[in-house]
Amino acid sequence: MATAARKSGGAASARGGAKAPARKASAVANTPAFTKDEELFAYREMLLIRRFEEKSGQMYGMGLIGGFCHLYIGQEAVVVGMQMASKTGDQVITGYRDHGHMLVTGMDPKGVLAELTGRRGGYSKGKGGSMHMFSKEKEFYGGHGIVGAQVSLGTGIAFANRYRGSDQVCLTYFGDGAANQGQVYESFNMAALWKLPSIYIIENNRYAMGTSVARASAQTDFSQRGASFNIPGIQVDGMDVRAVKAAGDMAVEWARAGNGPMILEMQTYRYRGHSMSDPAKYRSKDEVQKMRSEHDPIEQVKARLIEKKWASEDELKAIDKEVREIVADSAEFAQNDPEPDASELYTDILL
Amino acid sequence: MPIEILMPALSPTMEEGNLAKWLKNEGDKVVAGDVIAEIETDKATMEVEAVDEGTIGKILIAAGTEGVKVNTPIAVLLEEGESADDVGKASKSATSSDEPDQTADAAGGKDKQATEEPSAKKDGASVPAAPKAEIAADPDIPAGTEMVPTTVREALRDAMAEEMRRDENVFIMGEEVAEYQGAYKITQGLLQEFGARRVVDTPITEHGFAGVGVGAAMAGLKPIVEFMTFNFAMQAIDHLVNSAAKTLYMAGGQMGAPIVFRGPNGAAARVGAQHSQCYAAWYGHIPGLKVVMPYTAADAKGLLKAAIRDPNPVVFLENEILYGQTFDVPKMDDFVLPIGKARVHKTGKDATIVSFGIGMTYAVKAAEELAGEGIDVEIIDLRTIRPIDLDTVVESVKKTNRLVTVEEGFPQSSVGEHVASQVMQRAFDHLDAPIITVAGKDVPMPYAANLEKLALPSVAEVVEAVKAVTYKA
């Protein structure tokens, strides 16, 4: 498993890309250490996503969440590390596996969960659902249900940044499945041509729904998918939040300085099925169990916190308790908040 | 307190399933994520994972039980410090009063749902009425205003230039819009005045640049995306429909896409099937879009300025054949027309012709011919396909009692068929004849000159239709 191999060999490696400076790549060749505060921050943020998603799965099972619901469990280090690398004002856009992305931008878990249950207190007043949510305030641009569409849209957000001469960077997330869509390459071309501040984060969780990367992709090194456009790309151990942040720091600096786009292939893994109704027969139980037990992004941080005596089991339990309470409150709200008023049927169609 | 584990719903449509197998026994410890049971649905066998940590206190539904309703308690989980004696204290859900051995009964169809049915299922009767938007009339053109003969091409260019001067956030992007001065010369001079930052040549990449435009609009800019023709926008239609039109609704009003998609639409001349179709009905179908299709130069200018200012996505359908036609345009500082308002092109009393865009050329010529035969036709130019101004049409039909629609697009599910259906529903008692919808023929556009002519509507067909509805045929 590539992720495991890379853990010992270094967090990230840069290849291809005419302007990808080897110097920069080597800067993250050895996984940089986190400070105690960073470890604790990452632990709590990842735990919040984990618990939130477990609750979402549970509520889906109870029929409180309808339609499609794609859980982010296993991939938490990717958004948390990237968010730690970005700054206020940077935009985020992603596909339909979006709950984690929303939580790290600081969106209120109550509003997110209430959207999942289709209630009026949801971010989209209950009219968007799990896959379609936005927050203008938190610079979160969705939440898109069409695979790959967010890549062109994110490129457009980066275009707006350059047009305005702002120093904002747009983080555009998509999966290994979306990476085979044509518009991704149309977007790469324009982003490189116009040097747009766009970071393409390919969350390679190894399965596009039920199709493994090897069965769907002629070039399975997604970091090289921008090679035709001279977009530098690196592979990152997406299970290690420190490696993600280090790669993110480099990419954000690169894009913010006006050098154009960069691709980060995050080698990650989703523990659950593609959506709630996926029996996940395309992979073995052992494979999942191995990832969970050996590479879990949260357990990794936890182990370091304990080992360095930066936190006791009790202190971590207290964090867990606090996170559980936030999620429980959100669930309470999301179950009791009323559905949208019938009059909302015809609102927000046109301004 | 012990926690009841409920039969989960594992797909959007699952109502019941078979409890195939228990992978944990009473007394086993579980942590979140452990697979505790397997459930068969109509589609697949799925694993049930524990959500909480604890010990399986009691299994309520035996392995092999079929037809277990969603939300039926299937087991009780004991938390730390609890014993089997606590099983009975499990947090109650609506179905928890069932004794374990009775749950087969529940499975048999007694239909006890733990969760509330969405209210929509209970009172589906009261669908709120669609709101009616008030749309202002055309602005008054002061007496003595100079009327300047202008081509549609110049009018479109002037509209964009004026709006770009007015608002720094407005920019245009598309193929050949800058250096080449526009494939159809609509953007002539814009690069020279506004520079390459605001007049952006794109690669030939419709899907991609339509998405880039929508993204820029979501981020607050006001893009004008030119498609060299709307036929090529087929590659980009997902961004027009799924990204641009729906975002405001899906975002609960927080963010939308103030963008204009414009370019020539419909048949030009002898360009064959792939370059010759009208998208009025296609985009007219989509809530969240505005769709404009002007005929005259004045409408082209006033409506394009309105489209650029509009906070919603607007599809602006032009026509290559009309680009070179000249009409009077009032010389005013800021000539903006309302989107969503039809224009009575000519008043008349005997029959109403409703058309739009290039369809108007047939209507106007037919009306002239019919006038010679003593038939006085009223012509309504819809100008906007969505929101469609049916009030103006219905008022006219109440006067003339007869209606013919004219368009170049394909006949099935056409704009004319929509107008006909609405007039039938709103003004049936005012109709003295069946409505006739004149449209392009139900064939891909042929290349051969004679066949192309046959595929398009003709003045003669419109004349014939009006005579038919006035019983003068």
Active site (annotated) includes residue B239:
no
Choose among A67, A128, A190: nearest Cβ to B208. A190
Q: What is the CB-side half-sphere exposure of residue B124 using CA atoms within 13 A? A: 4
B218: chain A residues, CB-CB within 8 Å? 141, 153, 156-157
Residue A173 has pLDDT above 70, yes or no: yes
Whether B271 has its CB under 8 Å from any CB of chain A: the answer is: no
Residue B179 has pLDDT above 60, yes or no: yes
Three state DSSP letters for chain A: CHHHHHHHHCCEEEECCCCCCHHHHHCCCCCCCCCHHHHHHHHHHHHHHHHHHHHHHHHHHCCCCCCCCCCCCCCHHHHHHHHHHCCCCCEEEECCCCHHHHHHCCCCHHHHHHHHCCCCCCCCCCCCCCCCCCECCCCEEEECCCCCHHHHHHHHHHHHHHHHCCCCCEEEEEECCHHHCHHHHHHHHHHHHCCCCEEEEEEECCEECCEEHHHHCCCCCHHHCCHHHCCCEEEEECCCHHHHHHHHHHHHHHHHCCCCCEEEEEECCCCCCCCCCCCCCCCCHHHHHHHHHHHCHHHHHHHHHHHCCCCCHHHHHHHHHHHHHHHHHHHHHHHHCCCCCHHHHHCCCCC
Choose among A60, A127, A189: nearest Cβ to B250. A127
Residue A49 has pLDDT above 80, yes or no: yes
Distance from CA of A50 to the nearest CA of B (A): 11
Complete domains list, chain B, with CATH: 3-110 (2.40.50.100), 147-330 (3.40.50.970), 343-469 (3.40.50.920)
Average pLDDT over residues A324-348: 97
Yes or no, beta carbons of A156 and B211 under 8 Å apart: yes
- Which candidate in B154, B162, B175, B275 is catalytic? B275
Among B254, B290, B292, which would you mutate to test the A interface (most chain A Cβ atoms within 10 Å of its Cβ)? B254
- Split at pLDDT 50, 70, 90, the class of B242 is very high
- Which candidate in B16, B162, B206, B320 is catalytic? B206
Q: What is the pTM of this model?
A: 0.89
Yes or no, beta carbons of A135 and B218 under 8 Å apart: no
Q: In sequence order, what are the residues at sequence separation of 6 or more whose Cβ sits closer than 8 angstroms to the Cβ of residue A305?
A: A36, A39, A40, A43, A311, A316
pLDDT at B125: 60
Closest alpha carbon to B290 in B307, B266, B308, B309: B307
Nearest chain B residue (CA) to A336: B116
B130: chain A residues, CB-CB within 8 Å? 346
Residue A195 has pLDDT above 70, yes or no: yes
Active site (annotated) includes residue B275:
yes
pLDDT at A30: 65
Average pLDDT over residues B313-320: 98
Nearest chain B residue (CA) to A142: B251
The residue count of chain A comes to 351
A336: chain B residues, CB-CB within 8 Å? none
Q: Measured between alpha carbons, how far is B28 from B77 in angstroms, rounded to an integer? A: 10
pLDDT at A148: 97
User: What are B192-233's pLDDT values in tens digits?
Assistant: 999 999 999 999 999 999 999 999 999 999 999 999 999 999
What is the ipTM for the molecules in this complex? 0.91
User: What are B446-465's pLDDT values in tens digits?
Assistant: 999 999 999 999 999 999 99
Distance from CA of B196 to the nearest CA of A (A): 11
- Split at pLDDT 50, 70, 90, the class of A138 is very high
B288 close to A349: Cβ distance less than 8 angstroms? yes
Q: In sequence order, what are the residues at sequence separation of 6 or more whose Cβ sits closer than 8 angstroms to the Cβ of residue A264?
A: A82, A199, A200, A201, A202, A223, A233, A234, A236, A247, A248, A251
Choose among B114, B171, B248: nearest Cβ to A349. B248
Yes or no, beta carbons of B215 and A141 under 8 Å apart: yes
pLDDT at A281: 84
Strand order in the sheet with B436-438: B343-346, B377-381, B351-355, B403-406, B436-438
Yes or no, beta carbons of A152 and B46 under 8 Å apart: no
Complete domains list, chain A, with CATH: 2-16+35-334 (3.40.50.970)
Closest alpha carbon to A259 in A197, A185, A172: A197
User: What are B6-31's pLDDT values in tens digits?
Assistant: 888 888 788 888 999 999 999 999 88
User: What are A230-271's pLDDT values in tens digits?
Assistant: 999 999 999 999 999 999 999 999 999 999 999 999 999 999
User: What are B86-130's pLDDT values in tens digits?
Assistant: 777 766 433 333 333 333 343 333 343 444 445 555 555 688 888
At B398 the three-state DSSP class reads: helix
